[in-house]
Every structure is written in structure tokens, then in C-alpha cells.
Chain A
Amino acid sequence: EPEVTQTPSHQVTQMGQEVILRCVPISNHLYFYWYRQILGQKVEFLVSFYNNEISEKSEIFDDQFSVERPDGSNFTLKIRSTKLEDSAMYFCASPPAMISTDTQYFGPGTRLTVL
């Protein structure tokens, strides 16, 4: 299975602080996704990113969230001012082919804990 890596594996932060979650997708891919899973709940789509632009975002992805690909490799999700309800597992996903409808392989996730 193609590998998507994420760092850190676990992030603990204080409410109101900024956090940056990082993802290294499968190389040379154009489509990237972020999903969120609150503990014990289903996986929810946050945002998709294509050709260095947001292509689609959900209602969850409000102004406190942003994504970018600063160095052409890493793909980051920034939460500007964390809230308690942002505590969740955040997954990055990427299809291993140039076709976006191909299978999305998920990274191992970053568990974010907001205190």
C-alpha cells in the first residue's frame, strides 16, 4: 500500500493556540485531502486540495482552518486558534495516481488534544 506519512503522531496544545499538522503525500501527486475523526465517531471530510488550491471544503472547514503546500512536498493543515472541540484524529489522504477518483490512501493520522 502506498505510503502517506504524517507528523506529529500526537499533538497536545492549549486552547487558543495555533497548531500545524503536516503530511507528506505520495510523491508527484496533485490531489490531497484532510479528514477529521472525533473519538468514537465517523470520519468527516474537511478539505480537498488540487494544484495548489482548495478545490472543495466542508462546513467544518471554517476560517480558523487553512491548508497549504509550502515546499511542494509537505502538505499542512493549520488551525489558527484551537478550541476544545477540535480535539480529534486528523488524517491526510492522497490517491496514488493522477486520477482523483482513485483510491485514497490514508496517513497514520495525528491525534490532536486541545486542553
Chain B
Amino acid sequence: AQKVTQAQTEISVVEKEDVTLDCVYETRDTTYYLFWYKQPPSGELVFLIRRNSFDEQNEISGRYSWNFQKSTSSFNFTITASQVVDSAVYFCALSEGIGANNLFFGTGTRLTVIP
């Protein structure tokens, strides 16, 4: 059975600090996709990144970076030099196999960046 665990319920950091959001997943499939979504206070779900199970390269996009490690079944998200606008709930999600695949979401991490 698939499962996504985000152990950090809430994190508070002071502006300009770096912060890492943890995501651990479980799946029996060898082909799967991992995602991060941001949910700001306005409520929409904003896509941040998708990673497939065959690509373990880390990715950097501006202040955002992602560390995918199959050995530990983790897909962690780091925000460098955090800003107040980064305050949101961040969800990690998993999609399995090939075909019409729904997303399994973690419980989310609420990040508060204090000015």
C-alpha cells in the first residue's frame, strides 16, 4: 500500500533562514512519481515539482531545491533564504505506476516565515 509521511506538522523560521521539509514515502511499485505542492493561505494548490522514480538527480530552481534518495525513500524540499511569501502549507504527494494515477498526499507541513 502506498503512503506518504510528512512528520513535520508545523515549522517556523525567521526570514532568510534555510528550511528543509521532509517527505518519506512507501510504495511497492518500481515506477512512481513524487510531487511537491504549495498551498498558500488563499487555498489553491500550486505545483512545484515532479520527479520520477528513475531520476535521482537533485534539482534546484531558484531558492528551491529537492533531494530525492531512493535508498531512504525520501524526497526532501529545501527553501534557501526563506521569505515571508514562502509561508504556506506544503504537500508531498505520490503517484504510482503507469496509467490513470491518482495522487496520494501527505498530511502537509505548515511553514511560517517570520519577518
Contact = CB atoms under 8 A, between A and B. Distances in A.
A88 to B, nearest CB: 12
Contact of A43 (B33, B47, B101, B105): B105
Nearest to B52: A101
B44 A106 contact: yes
A37 to B, nearest CB: 9
A19 B70 CA distance: 43
A108 B43 contact: yes
A89 interface: yes
Interface in A87-115: 89, 91, 93, 100-109, 111
A1 B107 contact: no
A57 to B, nearest CB: 9
Interface string B80-115: 000000000001010100111111111110000000
For the side of the interface on B, what is the size category? 20 to 34
Contact of A42 (B99, B100, B105): B105
Contacts of B101: 48, 100-101
B100 A55 contact: yes
B46 A101 contact: no
A5 B101 CA distance: 21
Nearest to B48: A103
Contact of A35 (B95, B99, B103): B103
Interface of B: 33, 35, 37, 43-47, 50, 91, 93, 95, 98-108
B102 A101 contact: no
Given A101-B95, A103-B35, A45 B102 contact: yes
Given A50-B100, A100-B99, 20 more contacts: A1-B47, A31-B100, A33-B102, A33-B103, A35-B103, A43-B45, A43-B105, A44-B105, A45-B102, A89-B43, A93-B103, A101-B33, A101-B99, A103-B35, A103-B50, A104-B35, A106-B47, A108-B43, A109-B44, A111-B43
A56 B26 CA distance: 20
Closest 6 CB pairs of A and B: A106-B45, A45-B102, A43-B105, A55-B100, A100-B100, A42-B107
